[in-house]
């Protein structure tokens, strides 16, 4: 079986490829943990100057967490543990002291959207789509940290619209919102990301590291609120379990509000 996470190095640039194209790069627990380890490795190596994240296959960056893993959820602690682990991993990505570029081709939804949110620069193809359509699919929620991160990027009105309608933003809409930094054709995106990464390797690493950390500290102030009661309510609900079953059975969920 091929590696689910490919890690390549080209001089001072490390590229991580989510490598499950047959599953639109849906991310497994082991992929999450390997990404976390890679963040540690990148920070520990002063010769690495830029980290690039991309998805294999050209159809998806990451299409969320592998939903089959949710079938074992039974208690509120299952949901809380999942969100805490996800927070830990997304936070680690956000804390990488080097610039992180998301090369997005196709969908970045659910956990893929959250991973892209934690990157510094987002370069996308015109076909790319973004969002967390959880109100339509699983009936779950985000953690307080992830709501806060989305709030910083989109503002309250646009964020409510995204979650409530479960729609995906087009690349053009995401660019107009300031979320996507550049839209580049699929034929050109590899070259453009390499060009951008090369440019960043020439710039002062301390300036970029300090700027990243200063912005992160300012944003973190609003992430001190506990949302455990909200997460527990969601992941123990009948609707969440119905959402998981419906997703795996490829049918529309029958929501009850319980």
CA 143 to chain centre: 13
Looking at residue 34, its pLDDT comes to: 95
Q: Please compute, for residue 24, the number of CA atoms within 13 A of its CA located in the half-sphere on the CB side.
A: 18
Can you give the pTM of this predicted structure?
Answer: 0.92
Looking at residue 77, its pLDDT comes to: 86
Tell me which CATH homologous superfamily contains domain 5-187: 2-enoyl-CoA Hydratase; Chain A, domain 1 (3.90.226.10)
Looking at residue 174, its pLDDT comes to: 97
Looking at residue 2, its pLDDT comes to: 63
Looking at residue 73, its pLDDT comes to: 81
> What pairing do the DSSP bridges indicate for beta strands 100-104 and 169-170?
unpaired
Three-state secondary-structure class, residue 254: coil
Looking at residue 242, its pLDDT comes to: 92
Looking at residue 42, its pLDDT comes to: 98
Domain ranges in the chain are 5-187
| Predicted confidence pLDDT, tens digits, the chain (258 residues) | 469 999 999 999 999 999 999 999 999 989 999 999 999 999 999 999 999 999 999 999 999 988 877 887 888 888 888 889 999 999 999 999 999 999 999 999 999 999 999 999 999 999 999 999 999 999 999 999 999 999 999 999 999 999 999 999 999 999 999 999 999 999 999 999 999 999 999 999 999 999 999 999 998 876 666 788 998 899 899 999 999 999 899 999 999 999
Q: What is the DSSP string of 22-80?
A: GGTTPBPHHHHHHHHHHHHHHHH-TT--EEEEEETTSSEEE--B-GGGGGG--SHHHHH
């Amino acid at each position: 079986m091929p590696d689910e996470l490919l890690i390549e190095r080209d001089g001072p640039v490390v590229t991580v490829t989510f490598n499950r194209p047959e599953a639109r790069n849906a991310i497994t627990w082991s992929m999450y943990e390997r990404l976390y380890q890679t963040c540690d490795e990148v920070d520990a190596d002063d010769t690495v100057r830029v980290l690039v994240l991309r998805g294999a296959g050209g159809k998806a960056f990451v299409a969320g967490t592998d939903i089959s893993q949710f079938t074992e959820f039974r208690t509120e602690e299952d949901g809380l543990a999942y969100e805490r682990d996800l927070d830990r991993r997304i936070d680690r990505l956000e804390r990488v002291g080097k610039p992180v570029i998301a090369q997005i081709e196709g969908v970045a939804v659910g956990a893929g959207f959250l991973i892209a949110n934690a990157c510094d620069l987002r370069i996308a193809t015109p076909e790319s789509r973004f969002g967390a359509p959880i109100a339509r699919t699983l009936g779950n929620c985000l953690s307080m940290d992830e709501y806060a991160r989305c709030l910083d990027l989109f503002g309250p009105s646009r964020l409510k619209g995204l979650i409530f309608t479960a729609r995906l933003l087009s690349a053009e809409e995401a660019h107009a919102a300031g979320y996507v930094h550049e839209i580049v054709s699929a034929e050109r995106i590899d070259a453009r990301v390499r060009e951008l990464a090369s440019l960043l390797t020439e710039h002062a690493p301390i300036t970029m590291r300090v700027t990243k950390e200063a912005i992160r500290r300012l944003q973190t102030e609003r992430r001190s609120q506990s949302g455990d009661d909200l997460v527990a309510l969601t992941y123990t609900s009948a609707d969440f379990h119905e959402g998981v079953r419906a997703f795996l059975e490829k049918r529309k969920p029958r929501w009850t509000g319980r």
